[in-house]
A and B are shown apart, each in its own frame.
Chain A
Amino acid sequence: MDIDVKKIANLSRIRLTDVEAADLAPQLSSIMGYIDKLSEVNTDGVPPTAHPHDVAMPQRADVVTNPSRRDALQQPAPRTESGLYVVPKVLE
């Protein structure tokens, strides 16, 4: 299978050098080739499973429970300024 590794890497926001892309392409092809085994299975009329158990979603009451603790939560941030996260300029 031909996989456009560069395109997938771009969607994943992972930089790949040409050499890395050349290495990864056959690996991904062989993985996807193995996965193609699935096409042998007859799944006509079989519903998909997204969750292991057939249970409904629990919900929470609309009550404010979170204290403001911005400083602690921003402690792991690479760069902040006056309580704002700072990133290279976003183009619109």
Chain B
Amino acid sequence: MSWEVVIGLEVHCQINTKTKAFCGCSTEFGAEPNSQTCPVCLGMPGQLPVLNDVAAKKTILTGLAINADINLESKFDRKNYFYPDLPKGYQISQFAVPIVEGGYIDIPTKDGEKRLGVTRIHMEEDAGKSMHEGLDAVSHIDLNRSGIPLMEIVSEPDMRSADEAIAYLKQLHQIIKFLGVSGADMEKGQFRCDANVSVRQKGAPLGTRTEMKNMNSFRFIKQAIEFEVLRQIEIIEDGGEVKQESRLWDSVKNESRSMRSKEEAHDYRYFPEPDLPPLRVTQEEVDAIKAGMPELPNQLRKRFETEFGLSAYDADVLTQTQSLAQWYEALVASHPANPKQCANWLANELLGRLKELNKDISESPISAQALASLLDRIADNTISGKIAKDVLDAMMASGKNVDAIIDEKGLKQVSDTGAIDAMIQEVLDANQGQVEAYKGGQDRLFGFFVGQVMKASKGKANPAMVNQRLKELLG
């Protein structure tokens, strides 16, 4: 039997604001419990919401970045349910008319780009936090998170594998980071995902779906989806029926379980939030937001390929974050002769070293200009590429500039014909046997001589000259 997997994703992403969605409380992470609350986000009698104007702007920006339509009039609704961390007994959300509708994200697949639909993005407020661990018959409620603005990004059920789902999420995560609309820190719960998963026979109508709730790591999401797909297939192949339910991924046991508390059929009784008139934006405001939109990862990747001749792989690596892409462009600006070499040195040498130091490009101890001057010294034959790697180590450790290190350590490349000839002669004298063999036709030994000369020069001999002179002296 041939099974097809159908996945739709709902991402809850914290909008990057100083204050909550509907009140002037700080959104700073990690504050004392309930220290960032006020009568509004505590749902106290008579208190009313007023929307944070940054929340709408950032949601619109996100919508534009995924090629969606912006509704010039959108509405807020109440989603009603009781939960101790939901102070008003309803969540203010956008149900009937969200601010963003109908976009898409392109992901790379082995068969080329695939376009995945985004149904809508709507704004809503977060709930607080319930804590149960280590408590006996009670739970503790912290409402610092209550009222923090979220955008919920809802995809079409367009994904056909866990890998596609992850590719979509990574792309979305990257776009959001580029736009600066969210910290999107998954460990802080700023980017959380619900996955709707079902399976069907190819061509058959959609199967019953289950919802995997509240996952905040790409790895867990992939594991959870894969687990769920197998679970559903097994149920059906055993003649059973998949039950529509919410499930929770247990990353310790590597399995999911049904959420009992969500089993009770919800009736959210959505209706228009009477405390908030419709949200209106003008086309001019939307255009102004669009004009301020930074270059997106996809656009950057394509530009790096065409403008700098990078491979798709390198372009992808260097556009992972905005700061990395900017660093690369600064490097090329200072060393315009060879953008590909810039890419290699940044991606392989510098990033590799930073990774060992557990540092981000923004925390690099050397500047783009400093790396560029190192590349300049390779280009003008002052040092070899191999020596340059040692110089880079020294630069990162000491913060000194490239020329100071070359001088200090005497690493300047030897390009003097006389000195090189002397070293070659020494090597040939010491290895008469190999010279005979070479002359007898063993061409492979040429490399051996180059190696010996370089070794004798402690790596400082100009390799191109060594090659040239060896050929001449060996006849």
Direct A–B contact in complex, judged by CB atoms less than 8 Å apart: yes
With known contacts A73-B37, A83-B33, A84-B131, A59–B52 Cβ distance under 8 A = yes
* Contact B279–A56 (Cβ < 8 Å): yes
| A88–B141 alpha-carbon span in the complex (Å) | 11
Residue of A nearest to B74 (CB): A57
Could you tell me the dominant secondary structure of chain A's interface residues?
Answer: loop
With known contacts A64-B24, A64-B25, A90-B84, A59–B53 Cβ distance under 8 A = yes
Query: How many residues from B make CB contacts under 8 Å with A?
Result: 53
Q: Shortest Cβ distance from B94 into chain A, in angstroms?
A: 12
Interface assignment of B19: CB less than 8 Å from any CB of chain A: yes
Interface assignment of B267: CB less than 8 Å from any CB of chain A: yes
Q: Shortest Cβ distance from A78 into chain B, in angstroms?
A: 12
* Contact A92–B261 (Cβ < 8 Å): yes
Interface assignment of A39: CB less than 8 Å from any CB of chain B: no
Q: How big is the A interface, by class?
A: 20 to 34
Chain A residues in 8 Å Cβ range of B141 = 84-87
* Contact B279–A66 (Cβ < 8 Å): no
Interface residues of A in 31-88 (CB under 8 A from B): 50-51, 53, 55-66, 68, 70, 73-74, 81-88
Residue of B nearest to A50 (CB): B272
Chain A residues in 8 Å Cβ range of B259 = 92
Checking B50, B75, B131, B248 against A58 with a beta-carbon cut-off of 8 angstroms, the contacting residue is: B50
Chain A residues in 8 Å Cβ range of B280 = 56-57
* Contact B132–A82 (Cβ < 8 Å): no
Checking A13, A58, A81 against B82 with a beta-carbon cut-off of 8 angstroms, the contacting residue is: A13
Interface assignment of B442: CB less than 8 Å from any CB of chain A: no
Interface residues of B in 119-173 (CB under 8 A from A): 130-132, 135-143
Interface assignment of A91: CB less than 8 Å from any CB of chain B: yes
With known contacts A11-B267, A85-B84, A51–B274 Cβ distance under 8 A = yes
* Contact A62–B138 (Cβ < 8 Å): no
Residue of A nearest to B248 (CB): A92
| A40–B143 alpha-carbon span in the complex (Å) | 47
Excluding A68-B36, A70-B35, 18 further A-B contacts by CB distance (< 8 Å) are A50-B272, A51-B272, A56-B277, A57-B51, A57-B279, A59-B52, A60-B24, A60-B50, A60-B51, A62-B17, A64-B19, A65-B19, A66-B23, A68-B35, A74-B34, A83-B32, A85-B34, A90-B139
Pull 17 A–B residue pairs with CB atoms less than 8 Å apart, ordered by A: A11-B267, A50-B75, A51-B272, A56-B279, A56-B280, A57-B276, A59-B51, A60-B24, A60-B52, A62-B52, A64-B24, A65-B24, A70-B35, A83-B32, A84-B140, A92-B248, A92-B261
